[in-house]
């Protein structure tokens, strides 16, 4: 298993950065242009990022593993490009970091940040990893996360795992990086990789993206395969891009969206993928005629949206908001599904020292000095005590979530003929989108004056509305260009 402590020799051979490099903040398209012109190779790009990781990761703890085959994969990409320049597009030859809950059948592990999964072996690549490889992307490594996707304890620390330590916010090391896809957001923000991928059940892409001044897309549940991603619940889990720009995030989304026989939900949701993909919606008039709502005041952004032609419907109230935000029915569904689905995931591993949630609980007790020195595992215990998906309580909770979606967010969209909801991020607006399984995008909106920590603006849509959200996000991003890299990095 290729953890960071084992790769000193690899890093020593790859020191390419010194003075500020044009690779910093470079977009996927700019990198592809450099590939086509011959001014950059994938080996040089991978080497640059390995050097950045070696320099910054001791402080930021964003990357938990590196792929020992990364340079060899870069050489393969360069060879393919020499044979045919036509491959120099999309993600071909582009390094990607994956949240360490996404399975790769290579020399890296898949751990969820837990010592319990150290040394485990997966049977195959996750569905989205297979798609990334087919697109020619280079899997550079895995990122740290809130251990077990922040589902072990109600008192957990965002960005901390027993295996990876504490991920730090590059804009202010004393402030939270949010989670659970903490490392994915921090690595992209600090230019340790071109693009990254995270997962979300409720806020785990949107929150870390917003506080690290990057773009996060939470796709409609089922638009991207969850097969091979360590699960919490099929009802809310989704896999999505975290990048420095909307265009880069769309490049990743185009690569990973699509049907997968190993994730039944994708077979129903893939019909929402537009012919020609999502790149076509990167246009500057995306706000013209669009009707939007602001849940939290981001006055400058709203003013810009108006100036770009949007029709604003302000001060709307989400029906049943208190119940939705209380999380009572959501929590029961997640707790019940986690036990069932984690047991299924662990059972199919080729090699593992734990085969069930019960095993993980026992492991944590036996290794409490390392696993539970900061917080416990009360969420695990609650999940273990659930009675299964055939129980009356579970079925009633599922129905209640469906009611809250139909009479909450759906009612708001239909009654006011909305195209999207806009609000400050991070915020509680992640919960309605999570329960409904609906898409959302966050883009950088500003920086808190007292701390320097970024905040974002979230754009939430209905099922399959990614084209509209991308149009809005891209137009708003290009009209504001708020993002700036972390100071001194």
Per-residue pLDDT reduced to its tens digit, 119-139: 999 999 999 999 999 999 999
Question: What does the H/E/C string look like for the chain?
Answer: CCEHHHCHHHHHCCCCCCCCCCCCCCCHHHHHHHHHHCCCCHHHHHHHHHHHHHHHHHHHCCEEEECCCHHHHHHHHHHHHHHCHHHCCCCCCCEEEEECCECCCCCCCCCCCCHHHCCCECCCCCHHHHHHHHCCCEEEEEECCCHHHHCCCCCCCCCEECCCEECCCCCCCCCCCCCCCHHHHHHHHCCCCCEEEEEECCCCCHHHHHHCCCEEEECCECCECCCCECCCCCCCCEEEEEECCHHHHHHHHHHHECCECCEHHHHHHHHHCCCCCCHHHCCCCCCCCCEEEECCCCHHHHHHHHHCCCEECCCCCCCCHHHHHHCHHHHHHHHHHHHHHHHHHHHCCCECCCCCHHHHHHHHHHCHHHHCCCCCCHHHHHHHCCCCCCCHHHHHHHHHHHHHHHHHHHHHHHHHCCCEEEEEECCCCHHHHHHHCCCEEEEEEEECCCCCCEEEEEEECCCCCHHHHHHHHHHHHHHHCCCCCCCCC
Q: Domain locations in the chain?
A: 4-480
The predicted pLDDT at position 51 comes to 98
Could you say which of 204, 210, 245, 462 is catalytic? Answer: 204
Q: Is the model's pLDDT at 213 over the cut of 60? A: yes
Q: Which of 17-31, 223-237, 244-258, 342-356 has the least mean pLDDT?
A: 17-31
Average pLDDT over residues 370-377: 98
Q: Is 114 a catalytic residue?
A: no
The predicted pLDDT at position 322 comes to 85
The predicted pLDDT at position 341 comes to 99
Could you say which of 180, 225, 329, 465 is catalytic? Answer: 180
Per-residue pLDDT reduced to its tens digit, 147-172: 999 999 999 999 999 999 999 999 99
Q: What is the mean pLDDT of the chain?
A: 93
Q: Is 121 a catalytic residue?
A: no
pLDDT category of residue 19 using cuts at 50, 70 and 90? low
Q: Is 209 a catalytic residue?
A: no
Please check whether the domain covering 4-480 is classified as CATH 3.90.1300.10: yes
The answer, as to whether pTM is greater than 0.85, is: yes
Q: Is the model's pLDDT at 264 over the cut of 50? A: yes
């Amino acid at each position: 298993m290729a953890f960071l402590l084992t790769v000193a020799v690899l890093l020593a051979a790859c020191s390419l950065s010194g003075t500020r490099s044009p690779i910093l903040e470079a977009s996927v398209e700019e990198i592809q242009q450099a590939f086509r012109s011959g001014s950059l190779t994938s080996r040089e790009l991978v080497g640059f990022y390995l050097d950045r990781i070696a320099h910054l990761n001791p402080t930021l703890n964003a990357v938990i593993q590196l792929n020992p085959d990364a340079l060899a994969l870069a050489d393969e990409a360069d060879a393919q490009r020499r044979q045919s320049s036509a491959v120099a597009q999309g993600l071909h030859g582009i390094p990607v970091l994956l949240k360490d809950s996404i399975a790769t059948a290579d020399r890296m592990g898949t751990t969820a940040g837990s010592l319990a999964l150290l040394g485990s072996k997966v049977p195959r690549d996750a569905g989205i990893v297979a798609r990334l490889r087919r697109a020619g992307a280079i899997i550079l490594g895995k990122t740290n996360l809130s251990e077990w996707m922040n589902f072990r304890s109600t008192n957990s620390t965002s960005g901390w795992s027993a295996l990876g330590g504490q991920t730090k916010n590059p804009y202010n090391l004393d402030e939270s990086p949010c989670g659970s896809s903490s490392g994915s957001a921090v690595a992209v923000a600090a230019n340790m990789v071109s693009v990254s991928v995270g997962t979300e059940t409720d806020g785990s892409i949107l929150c870390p993206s917003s506080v690290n001044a990057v773009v996060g897309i939470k796709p409609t549940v089922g638009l991207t395969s969850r097969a091979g991603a360590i699960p919490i619940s099929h009802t809310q889990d989704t896999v999505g891009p975290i990048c420095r720009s909307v265009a880069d995030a769309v490049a990743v989304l185009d690569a990973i969206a699509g049907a997968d026989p190993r994730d039944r939900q994708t077979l129903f949701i893939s019909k929402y993928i537009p012919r020609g993909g999502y790149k076509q919606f990167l246009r500057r008039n995306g706000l013209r005629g669009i009707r939007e709502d602001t849940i939290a005041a981001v006055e400058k952004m709203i003013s810009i949206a108006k100036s770009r032609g949007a029709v604003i419907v302000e001060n709307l109230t989400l029906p049943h908001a208190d119940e939705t935000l209380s999380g009572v029915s959501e929590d029961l569904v997640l707790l019940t599904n986690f036990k069932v689905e984690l047991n299924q995931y662990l059972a199919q591993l080729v090699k593992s020292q734990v085969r069930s949630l019960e095993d993980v609980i026992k492991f944590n007790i036996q290794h409490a000095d390392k696993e539970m020195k900061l917080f416990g595992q009360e969420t695990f215990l609650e999940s273990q005590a659930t009675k299964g998906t055939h129980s009356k309580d579970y079925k009633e909770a599922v129905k209640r979530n469906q009611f809250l979606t139909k009479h909450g967010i759906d009612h708001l969209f239909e009654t006011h003929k909305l195209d999207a909801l806009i609000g400050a991020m991070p915020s509680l607006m992640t919960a309605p989108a999570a329960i409904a399984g609906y898409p959302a995008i966050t883009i950088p909106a500003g920086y808190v004056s007292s701390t320097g920590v970024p905040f974002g603006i979230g754009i939430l849509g209905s099922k399959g509305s990614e084209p509209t959200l991308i149009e809005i996000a891209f137009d708003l991003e290009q009209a504001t260009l708020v993002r700036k890299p972390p100071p001194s990095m």
